[in-house]
Amino acid sequence: MDLSSMILAEHLSDDFWQAFEEQNISLLCEPDKRFVNFFLEITRHLQELNQLFHVFRFNLLNMRDLFTLTFSDSLIRNDQLNFVPNKTEPFLEKKEHMIEINDKIAINALTINFISSGKTLSKSIETLIENDFCEEFSAPKGLDKAWLNKIYDNDFNYRFLVHLRDFAQHGHLPVSVTDNKFGFDLGQILGTPHFSHNSTRKKQFESIANQIIGRSDYPRLTFTYHIAGYNLTITKMYVDFLRKIKSTISASKKEIDSLISRYPDNVILTPDKSSGLFVFMLEEDDWHTISIDGDVLKMHNDFLRKAKKVLHEEQLLFDDVKLSILNSK
């Protein structure tokens, strides 16, 4: 949100209106209109995806802040979560005690938010691929639905937790606890009523459960490992997306600069000439502006640099989790 704003005419400065009336603002030709529309949407969507990535990160870091996720899946509560009644509210006046949120409820709430935010990010990338590009403005090579499908097909952690997201949306809690060990109980998940498992997924989960039972163990998948794996997959997906779309962003930056230069009278400078706005109309009386100081390529590169740093850190953490599990066997 807050990726564009509406400015009321009365809020624009007198200097702006004077320049607007004196300059010969040109109407864009139809091809230029189509490109500007594409540029505005791809820029807006790029910023929105960055926001969604940070929502995803917030949910992960919130989980890590409230719990210590151990390799043995024995979660340690770092902070006490309490519901403190607000005594200023009439209907809570008589409630003087605090209601503690137990660990199972807390970790389920955090996990559902974490998984859902990852799926929201991947779905937004899919939406960009399917809706923002077209025959005139085609997607770069490799940025397509097949790429996303391959990630889903080849990554069990991602596929499993996306399934649990659907499971949770139908009113079921995905995380179970036994003897303070948190995990994903395949027996309960497969046996839960009022939820129809995809036949292919059901067969795969049943096969995994039977393999675990064959080792004389309870069919429970580890919590920390699968959370770490899902996190790594979503982070890799976002970084890979930014890499794939870079050529489009670079070409769009060159084209918008060229377009602005072809309509010099549409640029309204500030009184000190330090910055300005490119003014144009897309529909009748539907005026828009683009800051001539904006640099979408610089913004993209900043997103990519920071996301790559996160990926490097999360890869190291995942490798530690994986190594610890292997050493424990």
- Spell out the domain ranges in the chain: 49-78+100-262+302-328
**What is the model's pLDDT at position 54?**
98
Q: How far is CA 298 from the centre of its chain?
A: 20
Helices assigned H by DSSP within the chain: 14-22, 30-66, 103-127, 145-154, 156-169, 186-191, 199-214, 223-262, 296-328
204-214 burial, b for 16+ CB within 10 Å, e for fewer?
Answer: bbeeebeebee
> For 198, which DSSP code?
-
Residue range 125-144: mean pLDDT, rounded: 94
| Positive or negative torsion for Cα 120, 126, 131, 137 | positive
**What is the model's pLDDT at position 70?**
80
Question: Confidence class of residue 95 from pLDDT cuts 50, 70 and 90?
Answer: very low
Predicted structure pTM score: 0.88
**What is the model's pLDDT at position 91?**
47
**1-15, 129-143, 224-238, 287-301: least confidently modelled range:** 1-15
Say if residue 6's pLDDT is above 80.
no
In the block, which residue shows the tokens 């996190």? 231
**What is the model's pLDDT at position 214?**
80
Question: Confidence class of residue 327 from pLDDT cuts 50, 70 and 90?
Answer: confident
**What is the model's pLDDT at position 100?**
67
Percent of the chain with pLDDT over 70: 87
Q: Which helix (H) or strand (E) holds 79?
A: none
104-134 burial, b for 16+ CB within 10 Å, e for fewer?
Answer: eebbbbbbbbbbbbbbebbebbeebbeebbe
Q: How far is CA 159 from CA 83, 142, 148, 151, 242, in A?
A: 34, 21, 12, 9, 22
**What is the model's pLDDT at position 63?**
93
Q: How far is CA 16 from the centre of its chain?
A: 37
**What is the model's pLDDT at position 203?**
87
**What is the model's pLDDT at position 17?**
72
Q: Using alpha carbons, select from 17, 3, 7 the residue that is nearest to residue 288.
A: 7
CA pair distance 156, 233, nearest whole angstrom: 10
**What is the model's pLDDT at position 31?**
95
Question: Confidence class of residue 94 from pLDDT cuts 50, 70 and 90?
Answer: very low
Say if residue 59's pLDDT is above 90.
yes
CB 168 within 8 A of CB 160: no
In the block, which residue shows the tokens 């060229």? 258
Highest mean pLDDT among 11-25, 94-108, 302-316: 302-316
CA pair distance 181, 193, nearest whole angstrom: 24
Say if residue 1's pLDDT is above 80.
no
Chain mean pLDDT for the chain: 86
**What is the model's pLDDT at position 96?**
47
Say if residue 25's pLDDT is above 80.
yes
**What is the model's pLDDT at position 277?**
86
pLDDT in tens, 35-52: 999 999 999 999 999 999
* Strand-pair partners of 67: 77
**What is the model's pLDDT at position 7?**
63
CA pair distance 323, 317, nearest whole angstrom: 10
Assigned token pair, 212: 């675990």
Q: Burial, 81: exposed, middle or buried (Cβ in 10 Å; 0-12, 13-18, 19+)?
A: middle
Strands laid side by side in the 181-185 sheet? 176-178, 181-185, 220-222
